[in-house]
Chains A and B, each alone.
Chain A
Amino acid sequence: MTTKISLHAVSKSYGAHIVLHGVTLAIAEGSVVTLIGPSGSGKSTLLRCINLLEPIDDGEIYLDGEDISVPGLDANPVRRRIGMVFQNFNLFPHMSVIENIILSPTRTLGVPKAEARLKAMELLERFALADKADSYPDQLSGGQQQRVAIVRALAIEPEVLLLDEITSSLDPELVGEVLDVVRELKASGMTLILATHEMGFARDTSDVVCVLDSGHIIEQGPPSQVFTAPKSERAQQFLQSIINSGRL
């Protein structure tokens, strides 16, 4: 398997607070990599760095072997290859669902409007949202909004999708419909990197699980190994606390 994204000794700090300590990680094409760990461990920051929303202080990030973390590099073409979905959906409230979806294809890729709409409708149909095309985000449930946000990210045909705790602000009964979408994306062969607190989902769906703690990857491997036989003591503690709270 070829490596799609690799991080080499990536460090990031906000002032004196170090968020990422030399993170090194390779993500194979078509694989699902899950980042787990306590809040504040650096999961979201790592995703934002890969999307170049946050500049990194040290180290390199490679996409298809090309260094995308070069200071001063035009981030926009890179971002069109790496989609991102956020915890709070971040749909544009002044635009209808379909307008949200076609904004980037028409404005950044120069796709004609009619063609972009057609493709957006196909995507909406695929995720059972076709009847919501002309609704506004506020009129949708959280689960529907998040599925629209995923469709919006897919509309620019990214090679990699970053999912940042996309079920964390959903009501429990809506989590399932969003996770189903992620499963479908995995089946379609897309490279996915997700930060999540859904441990059961991480165990069942991931190819690789990384446990982050205070900006370090303290455990990394297939879920069968990470969840059952973690090597580091800190990872054992973290998993134990999850098991104790009944979330696995």
Chain B
Amino acid sequence: MATTTSRRAVYEQKRKRRSIAVATVSSLIVVTAIVLLVPRMPRWDRVRQSFFNGERFRDSFPRLLDAFILDIKIFAWSAPLILILAMVIAMARNSRSPALFPVRALTIAYTDIMRGVPIILWIYLIGFGVPGLGLDRPWNSPLLWGSVALVLTYASYVAEVFRAGIESVHESQRAAARSLGLSNWQTMRFVVIPQAVRRVVPPLMNDLVSLQKDVALVSLIGPIEILRQAGIEKAKFANFTPYIGAAVIFLSITIPLTRTTDYMMERERRRTTGTRVR
């Protein structure tokens, strides 16, 4: 019956209206407080001049955008390599053959070491260290070795994500596959990995969002990408506004990515768990 409203529905509506009202009022209070209070700080004018200078923003923005193309490039060639290397590491770590014990030990040591040192340090060590061996062009490019450092470190994080996915596939799935005469490898390839990858797409996206930002770290060993370009722009007029420009450009990529990730996580949660408890 569409015309009569149940007392449950009436209650829900009332509750919904109430929570919208509360949310609106509280948001307004916070925003007003920021707008009114921050300009009252003693040096606000100076900060506004050096961080939110419209002219500097408009002037530097196109060059920042140009420099950002390099970030996208580094991301574009690193991400696939990371996924491949991570899957290889995860599978090696999950191998059950006793003959592969050294490989398993090696992958454990690898993930421990790569994850235990800050990424920035790896970029310095590999980015300066390897070209220091006296390699010739193009093999001494900091861009190349900076990317290699990103790939090696991120692969160790992503490998753990894949490993969690592989281990989350129930043993009974393997038993069913093996009982059908599939080999260990075929079981992995057709039964375990497809299910594992599906389950870890959201955390995987999380890591890719992080990678998107960490690409900027490569600038510390030379390549002029957006962060370094912003530094150059800043130096011209001793004005920090280009950094705000760089932040805006990063956000324009990372926010849609994170929103999509959250949406996918929510969808996966709804799919795998039952009704939500309030």
A residues lining the B interface (CB < 8 Å): 48, 51, 53, 75-77, 79-80, 83-84, 86, 88, 90-94, 103-104, 107-108, 149, 152-153, 156
Contacts and interface: CB of A to CB of B under 8 A. Distances in A.
Contacts of A53: 175, 178-179
B258 interface: no
Given A90-B173, A90-B175, 6 more contacts: A75-B178, A90-B176, A92-B190, A92-B195, A104-B180, A156-B181
B272 to A, nearest CB: 11
B183 interface: yes
B198 interface: yes
A164 B176 CA distance: 12
Contacts of A75: 178
Q: Report the contact-size class of chain B (Cβ under 8 Å from the partner).
A: 10 to 19
A122 B186 CA distance: 26
Q: Which of B176, B177, B194 has the most CB of A within 10 A?
A: B176
Interface of B: 172-173, 175-183, 186, 190-191, 194-195, 198
8 contacts: A83-B180, A84-B179, A86-B175, A92-B191, A94-B198, A104-B180, A107-B182, A107-B186
A26 B183 CA distance: 28
A51 B179 contact: yes
B182 A104 contact: yes
Contacts of A91: 176
A99 B199 CA distance: 20
> Ordered nearest first, which 8 A-B pairs have the shortest CB separation?
A90-B176, A80-B181, A104-B180, A84-B179, A79-B181, A108-B181, A90-B172, A76-B181
A113 B177 CA distance: 18
A107 B195 CA distance: 18
B186 A94 contact: no
Contact of A103 (B173, B180, B195): B180
Given A86-B172, A90-B173, A108 B180 contact: yes
Contacts of A156: 180-181
Contacts of A48: 175
A166 to B, nearest CB: 13
A76 B195 contact: no
Contacts of B180: 79-80, 83, 103-104, 108, 152-153, 156
A83 B179 contact: yes
A86 B195 CA distance: 19
A62 to B, nearest CB: 19
- Chain B interface SS verdict (over half): helix
A90 B175 CA distance: 8
Contact of A88 (B172, B191, B195): B172
Nearest to B176: A90
Contacts of A108: 180-183, 186
Contacts of B182: 76, 103-104, 107-108
B255 to A, nearest CB: 31
A68 to B, nearest CB: 13
B22 to A, nearest CB: 39
Contacts of B194: 94
A28 B202 CA distance: 53
Contact of A77 (B178, B181, B186): B181
B189 to A, nearest CB: 9
Contacts of B175: 48, 53, 86, 90
A75 B183 CA distance: 9
Contacts of B179: 51, 53, 79, 83-84, 86, 153
Contacts of A77: 181
Q: Which of B176, B179, B182, B198 has the most CB of A within 10 A?
A: B179
A107 B198 CA distance: 22
A131 to B, nearest CB: 24
B187 to A, nearest CB: 10
B109 to A, nearest CB: 29
B138 to A, nearest CB: 43
A94 B170 CA distance: 13
Given A88-B172, A92-B191, A79 B186 contact: no
Contacts of A149: 176
B190 A103 contact: yes
Contacts of B172: 86, 88, 90
Contacts of B178: 53, 75, 79
Contacts of B198: 94
Q: Which of B180, B194, B195 has the most CB of A within 10 A?
A: B180
